[in-house]
Amino acid sequence: MSKLQRASIKTLSPTQLTVGLLEVQAKKKRLAALPPKEQDAFLQAHPMPAVIGPGKRLYITDHHHLARAALELKIEQAWFEIDDDLSSLSEDKFWLEMDRQSWVHPLDQNGVRHRYQFIPKSLDKLLDDVYRSVAGFVRDAGAYDKTHTAFAEFIWADFFRRHIAIEDVIADFPGAVKLGERLARSPIAKRIPGYKE
């Protein structure tokens, strides 16, 4: 809908309840290793898709981990692209349209759906879902492909939530990722977006 634009990272609103904080820390470490000009170039190369909502507020629909990492590093500006302008809608109609477009994920760290008003107003209030970190690390290891399916990593997180005990994830995160890699390549995962034969 529109070309690349800039906005203050502090003003961006999330469209989900959780992130994987271990994945945020990994992205933060990668960003921190870059000089400021290269950080900006990296963020420009990975623009955040956004929707203009009521009150002209910007709601990002992807790249929450990168946005949170940049926020924690006190990077001032982010790059984004507008997918739609829904600013004329009431709050209720806005969230219904966001859901219809698969631009909102109101599920918590236990996979439980909440009302839209429970989605944090700012990136720093996103909750940790350790299984979302497992999903991100398993994807980065090449066990499944990144896909354009909305919130595919959360589908993978829920898959791992059902197959890897939380005690195992907490006690041995790298071991849980290795198990996740094996599970992602197994026949029981073949219907999940990004599955690799």
Q: Looking at the predicted structure, is the pLDDT value of residue 1 above 60?
A: no
Residue with tokens 């589908």: 155
pTM of the model: 0.92
How does the average pLDDT of the chain come out, rounded?
Answer: 96
Q: Which two tokens stand for residue 21?
A: 């904080």
Q: 5-112, which class in CATH? A: alpha beta
CATH number of 130-189: 1.10.8.10
List Cβ neighbours of 84 (8 Å cut-off, separation of 6 or more): 1, 51, 52, 101
CB 192 within 8 A of CB 144: yes
Q: Looking at the predicted structure, is the pLDDT value of residue 53 above 90?
A: yes
Percent of the chain whose predicted confidence (pLDDT) is above 90: 95
Q: Hey, where are the domains in the chain?
A: 5-112, 130-189
- What single letter denotes the amino acid at residue 137? F
Strand order through the sheet with 48-52: 5-8, 77-85, 48-52, 58-60
Residue with tokens 């929707």: 51
Candidates 169, 163, 90, 179; CA nearest to 133 is 169
Bridge-based pairing state of the strands 77-85 and 48-52: parallel
Bridge-based pairing state of the strands 18-19 and 127-128: parallel
Q: What is the pLDDT of residues 136-163, one digit of tens each?
A: 999 999 999 999 888 999 999 999 999 9
Q: What is the pLDDT of residues 82-115, one digit of tens each?
A: 999 999 999 999 999 999 999 999 999 999 999 9
pLDDT of residue 16: 97
**Start-end of H helices in 111-151:** 130-140
Q: Looking at the predicted structure, is the pLDDT value of residue 181 above 60?
A: yes
- What single letter denotes the amino acid at residue 78? A
Give 197's pLDDT tier (boundaries 50, 70, 90). Answer: confident
